[in-house]
Amino acid sequence: MSDFLCIKKIKKIMSTTEQQIMKFLEPFNSEISSLAQQLRDHLRKETKPTIELVGDSTISVNIGYGFTEKAWDCFCAIIVYSKHINISFPSGVFLSDPQGLLQGKGKRIRHIKIRNFNRKNSPSSLSENS
């Protein structure tokens, strides 16, 4: 994966970064790109005042949220794949999950697979339904 780009809260840099994000999302179909933008808008609103970090790899676009400019300090990330999106929690193994939404069996990372998003029911608006 390439290095994450830090999105600063300066309009001039913000517009350049927005263009970079749109470029990263170009290879994905419109449904996935739209879903990624909806989730991004929601997380930016709900996690203020975090820093948004963006990077791409050969199979995904990664948009992380944290309080420093270090990718490993992110507490959650939107991971965009060609057919779905994951909300990833790098320290997810330590989260309480009474509804059993978190997936993954690794040592730390857990995720929720997202196929659609409904703002009306937030925070239970994340859905695994196809």
111 or 129: which leads in pLDDT: 111
Indicate whether this model's pTM tops 0.85: no
* pLDDT surpasses 50 at 6: no
* pLDDT surpasses 50 at 87: yes
* Domain regions of the chain by residue span: 5-127
What are the C-alpha distances in Å from 119 to residues 3, 24, 56, 65, 129?
Answer: 31, 24, 26, 19, 15
Distance CA 62, CA 53 (A): 8
